[in-house]
Amino acid sequence: MEIETLRHSISHVLAAAVKELYPTVKFGIGPAIEDGFYYDFQFLSPISDSDLPKIQKKMVEIIKRNDKFIHEIVTKEKAKAIFKDQKYKLELISDLAKEDQKISIYHLGNFTDLCKGPHIKSASEIPNGCFQLIKLAGAYWKGSEQNAMLTRIYGIAMESKTALDKYQKQLEEAKRRDHRILGEKLELYLIDDEVGAGLPIWMPKGEALIKAIERYLYEELRKAGYKWLKSPHIANIQLWKTSGHWGFYRENMYSPIQVDEEQYMIKPMNCPFHIKVYNKKIRSYKELPIKYAELGTVYRYEKSGVLHGLNRVRGFTQDDAHIYCTPEQLEKELLSTLKLGIKMLKDFGFKNYDIYLSTKPEDKHVGSDEIWVKATKALESALKALKLKYSVDVGGGAFYGPKIDIKIKDSIGRPWQCTTIQADFNLPDRFKMEYIDKNGQRQEPIMIHRALLGSIERFVGVLIEHYAGAFPLWLAPEQMWVLPISKANNKYAKEVFEELNNNGFRVELKDEDETIGKKIREAEIQKIPYMIVLGDKETKSKKISARDRNTKKTSTLSLKSFIKNSKELIDNKK
Amino acid sequence: MEIETLRHSISHVLAAAVKELYPTVKFGIGPAIEDGFYYDFQFLSPISDSDLPKIQKKMVEIIKRNDKFIHEIVTKEKAKAIFKDQKYKLELISDLAKEDQKISIYHLGNFTDLCKGPHIKSASEIPNGCFQLIKLAGAYWKGSEQNAMLTRIYGIAMESKTALDKYQKQLEEAKRRDHRILGEKLELYLIDDEVGAGLPIWMPKGEALIKAIERYLYEELRKAGYKWLKSPHIANIQLWKTSGHWGFYRENMYSPIQVDEEQYMIKPMNCPFHIKVYNKKIRSYKELPIKYAELGTVYRYEKSGVLHGLNRVRGFTQDDAHIYCTPEQLEKELLSTLKLGIKMLKDFGFKNYDIYLSTKPEDKHVGSDEIWVKATKALESALKALKLKYSVDVGGGAFYGPKIDIKIKDSIGRPWQCTTIQADFNLPDRFKMEYIDKNGQRQEPIMIHRALLGSIERFVGVLIEHYAGAFPLWLAPEQMWVLPISKANNKYAKEVFEELNNNGFRVELKDEDETIGKKIREAEIQKIPYMIVLGDKETKSKKISARDRNTKKTSTLSLKSFIKNSKELIDNKK
């Protein structure tokens, strides 16, 4: 049995139950959806969430009756007679153009629905406890504001009670980890109406987190031979015409800014700027590969309805880089890029992925078959060399080249699209990029686009949910709090704070006039990795007591040892 | 004798000399300017730079004749008769509205000019060798493209030959240090027509330099209790209406971007975003002062004609910060801000400044007299506490508060406006900012705007010219080059490179197949602080020979010692 069929059949059971409880109800539609089903109704008098248990109970009754799903094909005329009291069903029947159209209907006991099916054979096939009504919502008939507002009842349904229980736990866990809720509670970022939707402002703690990520990226890429660039956020429209974005990417771009006689666009991508740096002088094969990186903040249009916390925004910072190389260098560069990407994800605590290799689209593409084969093979070799499992998305590449995408799985198993590594046979041609080869001939380099974390905003959203806000020491926005037990310990606490602060730690001194209990509770809520509690004993012995968030154990040691240990943890990305 | 009078009189000598050499010449005007003078002429047939020595020689002759400057007041009618062959002078006379206007003229030997004066008494007062004709340029009569193009002869003039020699040396030195020339030669940044005027792209070496500055700022401010923020580059127009920028700063802002039904503006300032973070929750006096910092890239309209390298651009990154404090905290905060600013300038190698305190404008201002007096006194106290000399610019403050501006002087004595510290009594009111005081009452905090380096772009421009591109180790984009003498040393060179690279240095391995002589010359041109030359001796002994750019001395030592010494230099901002 297909899970969609099961969900669809349960929606009919829901409709049947509602009909028995509310005989005057009018029916809209009731499809299967991603994790369950819904059905739209028009009630004579409104119902509320508190009515759901009663409806669910009636559904269980109906299932026990073991009614059959009976399929029938009728004439349009007969269908109109059957649904004569159901105005929405009549509307659906009228929408069918042909007068001699055959109409498919399904009976379940006394309930009959206009429906193409398929369905299960009998209500008894529905596993015990495999579904749950969850909520009511308003929904316009046919999704149009011009029409009546119906009442939608949502349910979730899985193939068994066990699967449903697991899914519900996961939902609760996901809710507990929701980055929008934690982002607010931990004061990481804010989105303000007057500033604009989809434009997060990083608050101090969020900024500290992204700065830790930025520093990590900066050093890792520097060591790997990348050179960092920094480009402006606006550029003349001419640049986007040359790059082709004005032609094929315009719907994602914002409207032009008029500057004197010229138009400027806010950038949706960093690539053209990096090419300008490459093209600043004539390049020799001896210089290649050239690797340019930028944490470039780009702005892309998204409809306001799809904006979602940090995951879907209108301005975001890519950990963008471009590698320019010869065809001979392609395989080696793709391998080292993929290797670096996997290492980075591991450093951030992600060890499971779904990897996709996307190949040449059938219809529209640029570049010779030869180079497509070469690049696709190079991507495949890199995956094989690192013994990574992957799926092939045949024809799923961009028009300008094949690519590897990686979806990381977070601590509760959800996949998130992050890494992308793409060959590009288009832009080098558009910008007339060249290098002089061994024989003194002009050649076109291959360009690799790669973002290993993707968007910093989105990646932080994922990180928040992955760690449920309890970040490892190296990433924690506030790494340690210094907590004097009483006023008598304030002076020593200040000394300890200064020493930690000067050692580069993100440390806070909490010497305000509050009870130590309250301060400790606050540190727990804020998920601070280390609480450094200083009482008379510590003040006298010039030691510190450090409570570890993860082990919940307290160690008394010298400040020097604590600093040494902490630096080691940070160096090891713990 | 006023220097302007001297320069103006020399311009008459120039005109007299030109008249003797080119009797058919028509005269335009000839004022004193910042470092000398010019005179505009219309020649029958064009002259060139090669004619300047001849003209200068004639000027010296005229000075030796010891002709007097004779002042005369004549009627308009008589003036028209005197200048009957000089169409531009006639036009100037006609421009004078009243028919009975008295006209001031000056005679010098046979040359007579329409001129208000004053002048020196006699040409012999002009000190020997105190002036120099320097160049020709085209200039439209009355500055309008509608009019004829005249030939402008520029000269520089100082109070003595010694002063002129000194000034000419300084000009040469300034040219040698020009950041636009060095920026190109050292590959620090590029400005590209297709991207747009005034929008620099930082190339790898420029980016490394600004990253070094950013890291320094980040740590210094973190240690000083600032919290870093990051805000988007666009915001809804509503924000700029609330802030007042739409009202009083619009001419500096770019045109709006249309997003769905709303208008968005690219930001000219960061302040409103920081206020949004402050206003995210109710603040207690216990939390104050709150200090928010951002390296915020802002975009402001500048006419294309005034754009100049990194000094005058259309997009720049401010080392921006805002301090929110109680009136009681104001003096202490201003003092620590000023202290930090002076320390930073010193760390970057600047020790001389011109400091200006600007006070309440007479006409337009907001805020009570009481708060103006308090803030102005607090700024003054800070200057006095640090024993800094300053000038008072009476009435020169912004309408929203008094301020301190610092112009740093570079290694050849030129002043550059960088630091600004401003009190603001306006924005807290506009955004209804509040804190709860000791008595539970709502109060408005005072806001301090401060940028200590100013704009990073401009500051880098100044740094380039200050150091003539020879940056100290801690700032140098490439700190050291590893140079194997022959192929036999390449393996060891690679080891040395890896070790330095992993130790966080910005190091380059130059193992391409070139002579060591050529590599060394290139390192000298690029002003690399250390060349690490590795020959057979070094390879065998596992030591290195490091040549210091500044002392030009080479030391042979262990790699470990070199790393230790270099880290120490960097820590000490050397």
* B443 annotated active-site: no
Continuous segment of H or E residues that includes residue B320: strand B315-325
* A222 annotated active-site: no
pLDDT for residue B257: 96
Q: How far is residue B485's CA from residue B483's CA, in Å, rounded to a whole number?
A: 6
Subunit contact A286:B315, Cβ cutoff 8 A:
no
Question: Shortest CA distance to B421 belongs to which of B376, B372, B374, B365?
Answer: B376
Contacts of B49 (CB under 8 A, 6+ apart): B135, B136
* Average pLDDT, integer, range B313-339: 96
pLDDT for residue A411: 78
Instruction: With beta carbons under 8 A apart, name residues in chain B contacting A208.
Output: 228
Phi, psi of A463, deg, nearest 5: -60, -45
What 3-state DSSP class applies to A266? strand
Hey, is the C-beta of A432 within 8 angstroms of any chain B C-beta?
no
Q: Which of residues 85-124 of A touch B (CB under 8 A)?
A: none
Query: pLDDT tier at B165 (50, 70, 90 boundaries)?
Result: very high
Q: Which residue in the block uniquely carries the two structure tokens 């960088």?
A: B418
Subunit contact B229:A192, Cβ cutoff 8 A:
no
Chain A nearest C-alpha distance from B190 (Å): 8
Interval B476-498: pLDDT, tens: 999 999 999 999 999 999 999 99
Model confidence at B348: pLDDT above 70: yes
Mean per-residue pLDDT over chain B, rounded: 95
Q: How far is residue B291's CA from residue B278's CA, in Å, rounded to a whole number?
A: 10
A320: burial class by Cβ within 10 Å (0-12, 13-18, 19+)?
buried
Q: How far is residue A492's CA from residue A507's CA, in Å, rounded to a whole number?
A: 15
Spatial contact of A106 and A115, defined as CB atoms under 8 Å apart? yes
* Average pLDDT, integer, range B506-533: 95
Of B199, B204, B236, the CB nearest to A227: B204
Contacts of A135 (CB under 8 A, 6+ apart): A49, A52, A153, A154
A289 preceded by a cis bond (ω within 30 of 0): yes
Q: Which residues of chain A have pLDDT under 50?
A: none
Hey, is the C-beta of B235 within 8 angstroms of any chain A C-beta?
yes
Spatial contact of A18 and A41, defined as CB atoms under 8 Å apart? yes
Taking CA–CA distances from A281, the nearest residue in chain B reads B187
* Average pLDDT, integer, range B229-240: 98
pLDDT for residue B97: 66
Model confidence at B99: pLDDT above 80: no
Amino acid at A70: I
Q: Running DSSP on this structure, what letter comes out for residue B304?
A: G
String of DSSP letters for B1-15: --HHHHHHHHHHHHH
| Residue that wins the pLDDT comparison between B412 and A470 | A470
* A325 annotated active-site: no
Instruction: For chains A and B, count residue pairs whose Cβ atoms are closer than 8 Å.
Output: 178
The CATH number of domain A3-168, selected from 3.30.1490.20, 3.30.980.10, 3.30.565.10, 3.40.1160.10? 3.30.980.10
* A322 annotated active-site: yes
Subunit contact B277:A190, Cβ cutoff 8 A:
yes
B200 preceded by a cis bond (ω within 30 of 0): no
* B318 annotated active-site: yes
Q: Which token pair is A514? A: 């509050």
Interval B278-306: pLDDT, tens: 999 999 999 999 999 999 999 999 998 88
**Residue environment code for A153-163, b if the CB has 16+ CB neighbours within 10 A, otherwise e:** bbbbbbeeeee
* Dihedral, B209, B214, B215, B216 alpha carbons, nearest 10: 90
Model confidence at B411: pLDDT above 90: no
CA atoms within 13 A on the CB side of A14: 31
The CATH number of domain B480-571, selected from 3.40.640.10, 3.40.50.800, 3.40.50.150, 2.40.30.330? 3.40.50.800
Q: What residue spans of A244-282 are helical by DSSP H?
A: 245-248, 271-278
Q: How far is residue B188's CA from residue A292's CA, in Å, rounded to a whole number?
A: 14
Instruction: With beta carbons under 8 A apart, name residues in chain B contacting A511.
Output: none
Contacts of B572 (CB under 8 A, 6+ apart): none
Of B211, B256, B504, the CB nearest to A228: B211
Chain B nearest C-alpha distance from A231 (Å): 5
Chain A nearest C-alpha distance from B153 (Å): 32
Best residue in A233, A246, A297, A298 for a mutation probing chain B (most B CBs within 10 Å)? A233
Amino acid at B284: S
Model confidence at B115: pLDDT above 70: yes
Phi, psi of B158, deg, nearest 5: -125, 180
Q: How far is residue B270's CA from residue A32's CA, in Å, rounded to a whole number?
A: 48
Hey, is the C-beta of A202 within 8 angstroms of any chain B C-beta?
yes
* Average pLDDT, integer, range B462-472: 95
pLDDT for residue B309: 93
* Average pLDDT, integer, range B412-420: 88
Q: What residue spans of B22-106 are helical by DSSP H?
A: 52-65, 76-82, 87-95
Where are any strands of DSSP class E within A414-529? 415-424, 435-436, 442-443, 446-455, 480-484, 507-509
* Adjacent-strand bridge partners of A399: none
Q: How far is residue A500's CA from residue A563's CA, in Å, rounded to a whole number?
A: 7
Contacts of B432 (CB under 8 A, 6+ apart): B279
Q: Which token pair is B247? A: 């009202």
Of A229, A303, A504, the CB nearest to B207: A229
Q: How far is residue A294's CA from residue A229's CA, in Å, rounded to a whole number?
A: 5
Phi, psi of B383, deg, nearest 5: -60, -45
Q: How far is residue A233's CA from residue A269's CA, in Å, rounded to a whole number?
A: 9
Question: Shortest CA distance to B139 belongs to which of B42, B12, B18?
Answer: B42
Taking CA–CA distances from A264, the nearest residue in chain B reads B196
CATH for the stretch B183-467: 3.30.930.10
Query: pLDDT tier at B469 (50, 70, 90 boundaries)?
Result: very high
Phi-psi region of B529 (alpha: psi -120 to 50; beta: other; left: phi over 0): alpha
Instruction: With beta carbons under 8 A apart, name residues in chain A contacting B232.
Output: 195-196, 199-201, 297, 315
Instruction: With beta carbons under 8 A apart, name residues in chain A contacting B289.
Output: none
Phi, psi of B562, deg, nearest 5: -60, -45
pLDDT for residue A97: 66
Alpha-carbon dihedral sign for residues A153, A154, A158, A164: negative
Q: How far is residue A533's CA from residue A520's CA, in Å, rounded to a whole number?
A: 9
Domain positions in chain B: 3-168, 183-467, 480-571
Of B196, B234, B258, the CB nearest to A264: B196
Hey, is the C-beta of B167 within 8 angstroms of any chain A C-beta?
no
| Rg from Cα positions in chain B | 30
Instruction: With beta carbons under 8 A apart, name residues in chain B contacting A193.
Output: 236
Subunit contact B196:A231, Cβ cutoff 8 A:
no
* A403 annotated active-site: yes
Subunit contact B301:A264, Cβ cutoff 8 A:
no
Subunit contact B208:A195, Cβ cutoff 8 A:
no
**Residue environment code for A418-439, b if the CB has 16+ CB neighbours within 10 A, otherwise e:** bbbbbbbbbbbebbebbbeeee
Interval B177-227: pLDDT, tens: 999 999 999 999 999 999 999 999 999 999 999 999 999 999 999 999 999
Taking CA–CA distances from B501, the nearest residue in chain A reads A223
Hey, is the C-beta of B266 within 8 angstroms of any chain A C-beta?
yes
pLDDT for residue B364: 85
* Average pLDDT, integer, range B462-488: 96
Q: Which of A119, A449, A466, A519 is catalytic?
A: A449
| End-to-end Cα distance, chain A | 46
Q: How far is residue A107's CA from residue A71's CA, in Å, rounded to a whole number?
A: 7
Taking CA–CA distances from A223, the nearest residue in chain B reads B501
pLDDT for residue A27: 97
Spatial contact of B548 and B555, defined as CB atoms under 8 Å apart? yes
* Adjacent-strand bridge partners of B139: B150
**Residue environment code for B211-237, b if the CB has 16+ CB neighbours within 10 A, otherwise e:** bbbbebbbebbbebebbbbbbbbbbbb
Continuous segment of H or E residues that includes residue B501: helix B490-502
Q: What residue spans of A348-445 are helical by DSSP H?
A: 369-385, 427-430
Instruction: With beta carbons under 8 A apart, name residues in chain B contacting A266.
Output: 233-234, 257, 266
* A377 annotated active-site: no
Phi, psi of B475, deg, nearest 5: -105, -20
String of DSSP letters for B378-400: HHHHHHHHTT---EEETT-SBTT
Q: How far is residue B280's CA from residue B268's CA, in Å, rounded to a whole number?
A: 22
Q: How far is residue B161's CA from residue B128's CA, in Å, rounded to a whole number?
A: 7
Per DSSP bridges, beta strands B36-42 and B26-27 are antiparallel
Spatial contact of A554 and A533, defined as CB atoms under 8 Å apart? yes
Taking CA–CA distances from B255, the nearest residue in chain A reads A257
Q: How far is residue A157's CA from residue B439's CA, in Å, rounded to a whole number?
A: 57
Of A219, A228, A273, the CB nearest to B204: A228
Subunit contact A207:B230, Cβ cutoff 8 A:
yes
Subunit contact A229:B506, Cβ cutoff 8 A:
no
